Structure 1
Amino acid sequence: MKIRLLTIGQKMPDWVQTGFDDYFKRVQPLITVQLVELPMAKRGKSDSAAEIHKYCQIEGQTILNSLQPRERLIALEVGGRNLSTEKLATTMQSWMLDGLDIALAVGGPDGLSDEVRQKAEWHWSLSPLTLPHPLVRVIMIEQLYRAMSINNGHPYHRA
């Protein structure tokens, strides 16, 4: 099984890259994770709601075009399922048994398009808080590492 993180936005602050890279290195011996940075649609300073909707649609199409055959799409958004770390660990075991690859979609600053939401098999919320999309990368890779640590009996996770 491979997990691909489909993220909108390509130029992240140094603190995001540092945090992501640390957990990315840790998780690789346990599971294959690939970061796919997709371009964010250009925005203006005073865009209308219709223009923002259009940007979201463009980014959504980019996410959908990035999907690979036999990849299960999971949308990350505030209204999705809440999972404990332990539940994520058992969910990842199920994913491995299913033999399908996973694509975790993280939208840009305006979220995910309706098309991505509809295509997703399910929606996952990292928090009831609205998180900035760069921070989601760091939280997501850390939680993948933590879940795989549980599944592999590594002492990183202390409940």
Structure 2
Amino acid sequence: MKLVIVAVGQRLPAWAEAACDDYLKRFPPDLRCELKAVKTEPRTSGKPVEALMAAERVRIEAAVPKGARLVVLDEHGARATTQQLAARLEAWRHDGRDVALLIGGPDGLAPELKRAADESLRLSDLTLPHAFARVLLSEALYRAWSVMAGHPYHRE
């Protein structure tokens, strides 16, 4: 199984890029985690928000591995503790499919993506900067793996 974080937006501050890279390279070979950044549709085009999100949806769908479980990150998604995320990660592993975790652009994810998702998760009750959401998701997935694997990274 492979975890693929598909995130709208290609430019991150150096600190966020370094933090994401650090967590992603820690995953073991049998559970790789990678980031695929897709281009944000320019907000200066004068297009309606729905058209912007639709253009980003096409890019997101192209980046998702065929047959992958879709997990959208959304402010209305299910809350999960580290232990619950570890249990989900274990269930995903038994499912055998790759898992694509989707982070939307400035206006979020297109409604069609949300409807097509197998699951919806929230990272926080707070509104997070996009770069921080990527770092937080990368760390949370690594921490969940550490719980699942009995690795000492996570301490209760």
Amino acid in structure 1 at the alignment position of 2:135: V
Match of 1:78 in 2: 75
Which of residues 101, 104, 121 in structure 2 aligns to 1:104?
Answer: 101
Amino acid in structure 2 at the alignment position of 1:145: Y
2:62 is the counterpart of 1:65: yes
**TM-score where L is the length of structure 1:** 0.92
Match of 1:118 in 2: 115
Residue range with higher mean Cα deviation, 127-136 or 4-13? 127-136
Amino acid in structure 1 at the alignment position of 2:2: K
TM alignment of 1:14-53, pairs within 5 A: 14-29=14-29, 31-44=31-44, 51-53=48-50
- Deviation readout 1:93-112 (Å, 9 max, x if unpaired): 11111111100000011100
Pair 28,39 (structure 1): closer, same or farther in 2 beyond 3 Å: farther
**3-state SS of the aligned residue for 1:108?**
coil
Shift of 1:29: 4.4
Cα distance in 2 for residues equivalent to 1:54 and 1:134: 23
- Deviation readout 1:26-70 (Å, 9 max, x if unpaired): 12446211111101001129x5xx622221121112112322222
Cα distance in 2 for residues equivalent to 1:29 and 1:128: 33
Instruction: Kindly indicate whether the alpha-carbon contact (under 8 Å) linking 1:71 and 1:102 is maintained by their aligned counterparts in 2.
Output: yes
Cα distance in 1 for residues equivalent to 2:42 and 2:32: 31
Amino acid in structure 2 at the alignment position of 1:60: R
Pair 131,149 (structure 1): closer, same or farther in 2 beyond 3 Å: same
- Aligned-residue sequence identity (percent) comes to 37
| Number of residue-to-residue matches in the alignment | 156
Structure 2: stretches of 5+ with no match in the other structure: none
**3-state SS of the aligned residue for 2:71?**
strand
Match of 2:151 in 1: 154
Cα distance in 2 for residues equivalent to 1:64 and 1:119: 11
**3-state SS of the aligned residue for 1:33?**
strand
